[in-house]
Amino acid sequence: MLFENADLADGRTRDVRVDGERIAAVEPALTPDDGERVVDADGRLLLPGMIDAHVHFRQPGFPHKETWATGSRSAAAGGVTTVVDQPNTDPPTTDGAAFDAKADLAADSLIDYGISGGVTESWDPDSLFDRPLFALGEVFLADSTGEMGIEAPLFEAALDHAASAGVTVTVHAEDATLFDESVRPGGENERHDADAWSAFRTAEAEAAAVEQACAAAGGDVDLHIAHTSTPEGIDTAAEAGATCEVTPHHLLLSRADLDQLGTYGRMNPPLRSEARRGAVFERVADGTVDIVATDHAPHTRAEKDADIWTAPSGVPGVETALPLLVDLARQGELSYERVRDLTAATPAAVFDLPRKGRVEPGYDADLVLVDPETPRKISGADRHTKCEWTPFEGFEGVFPELTLVRGSVVYERDGDDERFGDAVGENVRSS
């Protein structure tokens, strides 16, 4: 395949040739070969596919919420070419047998993937680290979906195992001792409004847990802080030398949106104040935040239509993250280079994926073609995730026209006509 006159994130216009699974050439002008498919990319942006380092594709255990097939289709339609699945499935990915079971299911994936291992009291690190593990974590320092929260001694033991194996540890950082129990049912300030969840899981709980995690790691293990939602948490991670991620929902939504979102806006960590959201955005724009990852965590409408204290936490996002970021760049809120770094180049560097994340010769042909001048309204009904809703209803996004994974077309759109390719996904740690 040959892309002609493609605009790259750094402002260059180049022809880009794909040969097999790799990018073969990036030049000002290339002559088409016989039989080569030529894509007229004039006026379009060619980006490296997004590496979403934080998804919950829900298999095994919860296929009514999502499957590897539906989740990867949603990802491909949003320009995501690699995902990292987290361990809080049923069974949790805490030993070799559970890893193998999840890997079998991941054969349905259209896109490349990594599988992270989890930590519980009953985990088996020997068999787990014997597998092609992407990372250790999301390690939960407070309970979330799956009830995998652990105490400090087990966390420290997990850090030792990871350091010995040279594996990055990804941490869900919240200190449950700093949650505001008074707003829970039966508490003196009991609340049931949509904002009660944000009032309960306080911003202070995140900052304290990030500090504790960084202190425990002590620089002896590569530490990555998942879904930071506060400027305090981001700054603490940066000062300690840990990397961190921000989700699109913490970047673009705040407690001010909860009247409209209701329980569909409940997630862990919760939405923060508009002032904190703005400060998080500043840190994403200025480079303090390393990557954007979605924490794609779908639940059905039937599950979300409940009291704030019983509705499950989590929102879908794998299909809308890159379109939202490209639209922000279209509006001048971010640069296209910053979008590339947040979604591809830096995740590849942080998690040691040397063939991914850039439009350069020799790299995997994980490519996304978009037209920045044709944003589309986001609608849950049009998304491909099994839950069929989005917290970004009515936002605008710039969606892909073409998505390639190692040179294979996995998604193609012409107007409203869509076509998905075959399941070509591979474990990025197996090659």
Buried b (16+ CB within 10 A) or exposed e, 152-191: eeebeebbebbeeeebbbbbbbbbeebbbeebeeeeeeeb
**Taking each helix axis from N to C terminus, what angle separates 203-217 and 231-240, rounded to the nearest 10 degrees?**
10
Q: Tell me the longest C-alpha to C-alpha distance in the chain.
A: 75
Q: Which residues contact 282 (CB under 8 A, 6 or more apart)?
A: 231
| Residue spans of alpha helices (H) in 166-288 | 196-200, 203-217, 231-240, 248-252, 258-261, 274-286
Dihedral pair phi/psi, residue 193, rounded to 5°: -75, 170
Site of tokens 């087990």: 154
Amino acid identity of residue 157, one-letter, is A
Dist. CA 386–CA 367, nearest whole Å: 24
Q: Which of 200, 125, 195, 131 is nearest to 164 (CA)?
A: 125
Catalytically annotated residues: 295
Q: What is the CA radius of gyration of the chain?
A: 21
Q: Are 327 and 375 in contact (CB under 8 A)?
A: yes
DSSP state of 303: H
Q: Are 243 and 288 in contact (CB under 8 A)?
A: no
